[in-house]
Amino acid sequence: HNDLPWQLLTMFNNRLQDERANLSTLADTHTNIPKLKAGFVGGQFWSAYTPCDTQNKDAVRRTLEQIDVIHRMCQMYPETFLCVTTSTGIRQAFQEGKVASLIGVEGGHSIDSSLGVLRALYHLGMRYLTLTHNCNTPWADNWLVDRGSDKAQSQGLSLFGQSVVREMNRLGVIIDLAHVSVATMKATLQLSKAPVIFSHSSAYSLCGNRRNVPDDVLQLVNETGSLVMVNFYNDYVSCTKEASLSQVADHLDHIRKVAGARAVGFGGDFDGVSRLPEGLEDVSKYPDLIAELLRRNWTEAEIRGALADNLLRVFEAVEQASNNTQAPEEEPIPLDQLDGSCRTQYGYSEASSLYHQPGALLASLILSLCLL
């Protein structure tokens, strides 16, 4: 999980031809081409991220722009990046010595509660979707519910949230449970027909931050063949502003112990966090983490698993569970569950039972006011 696309937006408004945005010389970021090469990085899920304040506003547009900049990275630096959408494509990139570049959409608000948008993002290359970011969607609860900062709305997943999970299974989109509440974690792990990932989360037993994964959920991760990719952000590693590479290795050790070696991966979160452990300051430092695991008597097979094989196994299982012959999910979210005072209501006709949900009349009145 790498947030370089967010840096490209905030620093250059996605203008890759700005000479300061040259990825071979880019400064003041955790990621650039020389650092990727020094770290022997063979693949990244580039995050198509847009903040929660875009929800009910321009989240879809902003997400499309971030997907676009990832595609343009691959086009502008074809000798370094290979944009891929399959597990086979990742292996091809490895063979060609390029960085396999995949798109992860970080936050369910990016689909604006639309199965049609979910499908469209899949066609544009999205291969994982994080069900929430740091805010509830109308259909799934986020981790701040467990901290008491947000109120539970869906008690995990609403009925529409369950439809989103089923449609992701049908399409072959990896479900990402980083950032979600424990109730959402458990509901999704029980419902999904394919393994899921936590793309950048650590172990709650070692750092009691609600962004991390508790042991009872790690046991479900083991039972479902799922994957926890450890986050390097100091606040999730040590629960303080300071952390070390050794403490990151402790999280990897703990997840391996509780969920098994097949459940461990590297989550990173480079260019998406403000503080990183001493010894893991940027993407060039991955070999030092490998050296630490070797000192801890991890086997070569276990390390290869954490580096790539575990993610490839999950991705292949997601691909195998997909079913293009199955009819797509079509039932839209009830109108009264949508926020946003100036939404149009096309499709929610008076003849539809959806229209006669509690709150639909109020939504209609608000829309009328917006049109005045």
Q: Is 106 a catalytic residue?
A: yes
- Helix, coil or strand: residue 191: helix
Which residue is catalytic, options 109, 141, 176, 200? 200
The residue annotated as part of the active site, out of 141, 176, 250, 269, is 269
**Residue 133 designated active-site:** yes
3 is catalytic: yes
Cα distance between residue 273 and residue 266, in whole Å: 15
CA–CA separation, 124 and 85 (whole Å)? 9
Which position among 3, 146, 271, 329 bears the catalytic label?
A: 3
Work out the angle at residue 186's Cα, subtended by the Cα atoms of residues 240 and 46, and round it to the nearest 5 degrees.
Answer: 60
102 has which bridge partners?
45
- Go through 266-276 and write b for each residue having 16 or more CB atoms within 10 A of its CB, e for each that does not: bbbbbbbbeeb
Which of 30, 109, 179, 254 is catalytic? The answer is 179
Comparing C-alpha atoms, which of 105, 130, 102 is closest to residue 43? 102
User: Which amino acid is located at 350 in the chain?
Assistant: E
Catalytic residue selected from 30, 109, 133, 251: 133
Concerning whether 71 is annotated as a catalytic residue, the answer is: no
The question of whether 339 is a catalytic residue gets the answer no
> Are 316 and 195 spatial neighbours (Cβ–Cβ below 8 Å)?
no
Distances in whole angstroms, Cα of residue 23 to Cα of each of 117, 130, 176, 203, 305: 31, 26, 28, 33, 29
Given 106, 146, 292, 302, the catalytic residue: 106
Residue 271 bears catalytic tag: no
- Whether 179 is a known active-site residue: answer yes
Catalytic residue IDs? 1, 3, 106, 133, 179, 200, 269
